[in-house]
Amino acid sequence: MKTEIAKIETTVNTEALDINRNIIKKAAKYLRKNELVAIPTETVYGLGASGLSEEACKKIFEVKGRPADNPLILHISELEELYDLVKEVPIEAEKMLEELWPGPLTIVLRKSEKIPNIVTAGGNTVAIRMPSHKVAREIIKEVGLPIAAPSANLSGRPSPTTAKDVMEDLNGKINLIVDGGQSSIGIESTVLDLTSKPYTILRPGFFDKVDLENYLKEVEYDNALLEEGVIPRSPGQKYKHYAPKASMEVIIGNNKQIKEFIVIYIKSTIKNTAYILFEENKNLVPKDGIFLTLGSKEKLNEMAYNLFKNLRLADKLKVEHIICEGTLEKGIGIGIMNRLKKSSSGTVRIL
Ligand code: AMP
Ligand code: MG
């Protein structure tokens, strides 16, 4: 199978609009035929399949090498589409959905009869999100069905935030990758279980507990996110994830501590290393060393944006080891640290 990357042009001229329309239609055609298409979203790129087709969703598991017990998120383009897919929506969640959707929030509810078992990995709840990325929404609208779309990477690898990243993992395995530019957020959605109270954050992401408390009285983090050794309620959280090929160590500290660490590290190791650090610490990396930026320490959104991209870049540069700065677990920092702990198999050093 030959994999094509079709680029959506964001500059608005009449010709580009026609080209874009054709790409949206092409993507929708494949999806309606139960083929897979990688689509851009604001979180990461998704591997899309018709969400009500057992046959199409089966291909997602095959292509990604995804464990069969890890359920899929269904993506919709309008709030109304939600009500057909679930048994009921708690009233207090409605205002939240009106304000936070479209966006990086996934909700888990009891599923309706329409949803095939493969989507929910046999369970009676389903995860649903309305992405804000225009291209994703247009494709979903054009298909006229919910689209199942886990991250478009091979299972276990860092999530893709560009069409090129998807190509790296899925070349020859799918027909089409729709290129809608780099994902603006860069880490996956917050997953919120609304099936019972207290409502539970199963996976941290762009929105944290404080954001959700503006709408819901009782919200907790899943215990597995707070304590070691607790089995996560979200199946996907138990797997090794987001892992680069190089071994990786996460370090957390102030600039002085980071500096001291790197001086000692350089003296004591001969490993070929990539340093993924905040821009402020760029000068700590030796001239002949590999520095990859996380953006400004003051702007954690930049850290999320740069994170997976750099893990993939480090692999391309064939380094043996990655030193990556971590951050405080606040706001999106909770989601970022959740990913970093998994990428590094828990090798986090507080300096
Ligand atoms: P991704 O592969 O990035 O799309 O991840 C989807 C995440 O949502 C995984 O962590 C799944 O385990 C989780 N998820 C999907 N459906 C459900 C569900 N019904 N209940 C709990 N977690 C879910
Ligand atoms: Mg994933």
Which CATH number covers residue 128?
3.90.870.10
Residue 46: CB within 6 Å of ligand 1?
no
Q: What is the pLDDT of residue 268?
A: 86
> Does residue 153 sit within a domain?
yes
The token pair that represents 29 in the structure block = 């055609």
Q: Length of the chain, please?
A: 351
> Does residue 95 sit within a domain?
yes
Atom nearest to 119 CA in ligand 1: 16
Angle between helices 300-316 and 332-343 (to 10 degrees): 20
Q: What is the pLDDT of residue 236?
A: 75
Nearby residues of 210 by Cβ (< 8 Å), 6 or more positions away: 331
Protein residue closest via CA to atom 23 of ligand 1: 234
Residues with CB under 5 A from ligand 2 (ion): 151
Asked whether residue 161 falls in the same domain as residue 265, the answer is no
Residue 200: CB within 6 Å of ligand 1?
no
What are residue 319's phi and psi, to 5 degrees? Answer: -75, 160
> Does residue 86 sit within a domain?
yes
Pairing of strands 125-129, 73-75: parallel
Q: What is the pLDDT of residue 287?
A: 87
Residue 239 corresponds to which amino acid?
Y
Residue 195: CB within 6 Å of ligand 1?
no
Asked whether residue 184 falls in the same domain as residue 275, the answer is no
> Does residue 53 sit within a domain?
yes
Residue 237: CB within 6 Å of ligand 1?
yes
Asked whether residue 176 falls in the same domain as residue 279, the answer is no
Protein residue closest via CA to atom 14 of ligand 1: 71
Q: What is the pLDDT of residue 304?
A: 98
Residue 295: CB within 6 Å of ligand 1?
no
Nearby residues of 227 by Cβ (< 8 Å), 6 or more positions away: none
At 332, which CATH number?
A: 3.40.50.11030
Residue 75 corresponds to which amino acid?
H
What is the span of the domain harbouring residue 150? 4-189
Residue 153: CB within 6 Å of ligand 1?
no
Q: What is the pLDDT of residue 226?
A: 87
Protein residue closest via CA to atom 2 of ligand 1: 150
Instruction: Give yes or no for a contact between 245 and 129, defined as CB atoms under 8 angstroms apart.
Output: no
Residue 73: CB within 6 Å of ligand 1?
yes
pTM of the entire predicted model: 0.95
How many alpha carbons lie under 13 Å from residue 150 in its C-beta half-sphere? 26
- The long-range contacts involving 281-288, CB below 8 angstroms and separated by at least 24 positions, are 281/255, 281/325, 284/258, 284/259
Q: Which helix (H) or strand (E) holds 19?
A: helix 14-32
Domain boundary among 149, 173, 189: 189
CA distance 239 to 260: 34
Q: What is the pLDDT of residue 71?
A: 97
Residue 108: CB within 6 Å of ligand 1?
yes
Residue 71: CB within 6 Å of ligand 1?
yes
DSSP per-residue codes, 303-332: HHHHHHHHHHHHHHTT-SEEEEE---SSTH
Radius of gyration (C-alpha) of the chain in whole angstroms: 20
Q: What is the pLDDT of residue 227?
A: 83
Q: Which helix (H) or strand (E) holds 108?
A: strand 105-110
**For the chain, how many structural domains are there in total?**
2
Which ligand has the nearest atom to the CA of 155?
2
Domain boundary among 169, 189, 209: 189
Nearest to 85 by CA among 105, 114, 53, 108: 114
Protein residue closest via CA to atom 4 of ligand 1: 150
Pocket test for ligand 1, best of 183, 191, 194, 231 (most atoms within 8 A of CB): 191
Instruction: Give yes or no for a contact between 266 and 258, defined as CB atoms under 8 angstroms apart.
Output: no
What is the 8-class DSSP label of residue 5?
E
Protein residue closest via CA to atom 22 of ligand 1: 234
Residue 188: CB within 6 Å of ligand 1?
yes
Q: What is the pLDDT of residue 199?
A: 98
Asked whether residue 261 falls in the same domain as residue 336, the answer is yes
Residue 184: CB within 6 Å of ligand 1?
no
Protein residue closest via CA to atom 9 of ligand 1: 236
- What are the pLDDT tens digits along the chain (351 aa)? 999 999 998 776 777 777 799 999 999 999 999 999 999 999 999 999 999 999 999 999 999 999 999 999 999 999 999 999 999 999 999 999 999 999 999 999 999 999 999 999 999 999 999 999 999 999 999 999 999 999 999 999 999 999 999 999 999 999 999 999 999 999 999 999 999 999 999 999 999 999 999 999 999 999 998 888 788 888 877 776 788 899 999 999 999 999 999 999 988 877 799 999 999 999 999 888 899 999 999 999 999 999 999 999 999 999 999 999 999 999 999 999 999 999 999 999 999
> Does residue 94 sit within a domain?
yes
